[in-house]
Structure 1
Amino acid sequence: MTGANKGIGYEVAAGLGSLGWRVGVGARDEQRREEAVAKLRAAGGDAFGVPLDVTDDASVAAAAGLIEERAGGLDVLVNNAAITGGAPQTPITVEPATVRAAVETNVIGVIRTTNAMLPLLRRSATPRIVNMSSSVGSLTMQTTPGAETGPLSAAYATSKTFLNAVTVQYAKELHDTIILINAACPGFTATDLNGFRGVRTPEQGAAIAIRLATLPADGSTGGFFDDAGIVAW
């Protein structure tokens, strides 16, 4: 999985590890990646590090090769790596470079990584893809008077709307396969992405991703879910 060295990503890795899964810890930062692997192993998990920068073609291709070598295949891809892009993000003040950076990681990075991993996933008997999204990407919520969607965000929130749309497109293309792909909303979770202002723990935020990663064969695809159920697009 991507962005697995800390926060929600680490807790998804830990949760899947506790279920007996072998986990590839994808992350850019070598020290944090290896510390996460050591912590997962100390807890009894089967984990290995995967150097991975989702914004770099060569890095993603190398990660796919390493997963093939170390694990022999891939059953679940969790696209968790994301950035906010920084502030301010009001539409009339945001720098185009800020929007571009958020989309490069949060959307194009997901496309790049998913496409590189698809050959491995196609060989799995239970292939699942989970894209970590956010309710701030919900157009329904953004246009509902009184709905709490946080501050104006022309980069981060819109990148999650973009990611939701991409998730739907993948589901449509993969409808005749056994690959299930869904978007997950972890809720307002305390991570460094939001300065630890969230009200949920990373473990709580990881729960929906773990559930979608372990869906049965007749599970949903092309949906957007949080702990309570379906999230409106």
Structure 2
Amino acid sequence: MTTTLITGANKGLGHESARRLIDAGHDVWVGARDATAGQDAADKLGARFVQLDVTDDASVAAAVQTIRDAGTGLDVLINNAGIVGPMAALRDTTADDVAKTYETNVFGVVRVTQAFVPLLEESENPVIVNVASGLGSLAVNNDTSRVENTIISLGYPTSKTAVVALSDMYARALPSFRVNVVDPGYTATDLNGHSGHQTVTEGTDAIVAMAQVGKDGPTQTFQDRDGLVPW
């Protein structure tokens, strides 16, 4: 059985990804900062729970030990946890505002990935899926026909561009892994006040697909539910 860890999985895209992957036969660890919300979500899904705050080294190290001690191994890591961060006009945005967003969205991906790579290396088919956004694509951002072109912010969009770049680096550094980054699309979640036009199921299509790639599956790609996204 494939064992999968999803960060930020107590709600939204992470929760729906967990539900769908359990249905597909995965043994899923729900990672969540809030122990009560995470355990409740895991119980309802029929998943395992591990407390995991992606901004805290000790929490991440403890999560690694919890999963290792459970003896399930780990085959798939889905770095899903993310925040919008402070929303201020560009001229009013401070370095601290950007740093707060990066702490979760960028440094959290590095912190979790670095900690779990040794466990993933024990898998016969190690997979990493990083959840970014169309806002992370420079090509999409500069396409005047796309809604992303109208959004100018120093925090969230640039943090997702960094996630795209990190994914490229990890794919190149870990050739035996399948490492891909995905754009869920504009999905109705708490992150955007449920203003997205996609359902949460539609928003998890690319996540679920990339979580199930085989040894000969794609790696070093950026994808959404319709296929490849330009870098």
Normalising by structure 1, what TM-score?
0.94
1:74 counterpart residue number? 74
In structure 2, distance between residues paired with 1:51 and 1:89: 34
Q: Report the identity percentage.
A: 44
* Residue 190 (1) aligns with residue 171 (2): no
Deviations 1:152-187 (A, max 9, x none): 121000000011011101111112x2x110001111
Instruction: Give the conservation status (yes or no) of the 8 Å contact 2:13–2:203.
Output: yes
In structure 2, distance between residues paired with 1:173 and 1:138: 21
2:3 counterpart residue number? none
What is the CA-CA distance between 1:89 and the residue it aligns to?
A: 4.6
In structure 2, distance between residues paired with 1:110 and 1:30: 20
- Structure 1 unaligned regions, length at least 5: 42-46
1:8 counterpart residue number? 13
1:25 counterpart residue number? 30
Q: Classify the secondary structure of the residue corresponding to 1:129.
A: strand
Aligned-pair Cα RMSD in Å: 1.1
Amino acid at match of 2:96: A
In structure 2, distance between residues paired with 1:208 and 1:154: 26
- Structure 2 unaligned regions, length at least 5: 1-5
Q: Which stretch has the larger CA shift, 81-90 or 103-112? A: 81-90
In structure 1, distance between residues paired with 2:63 and 2:209: 24
What is the CA-CA distance between 1:71 and the residue it aligns to?
A: 4.0
In structure 1, distance between residues paired with 2:49 and 2:222: 29
Q: How many residue pairs were aligned?
A: 225
Q: Classify the secondary structure of the residue corresponding to 1:63.
A: helix
Normalising by structure 2, what TM-score?
0.94
1:227 counterpart residue number? 225
Deviations 1:72-97 (A, max 9, x none): 3100000000001121152x221211
1:152 counterpart residue number? 152
Q: Classify the secondary structure of the residue corresponding to 1:78.
A: strand
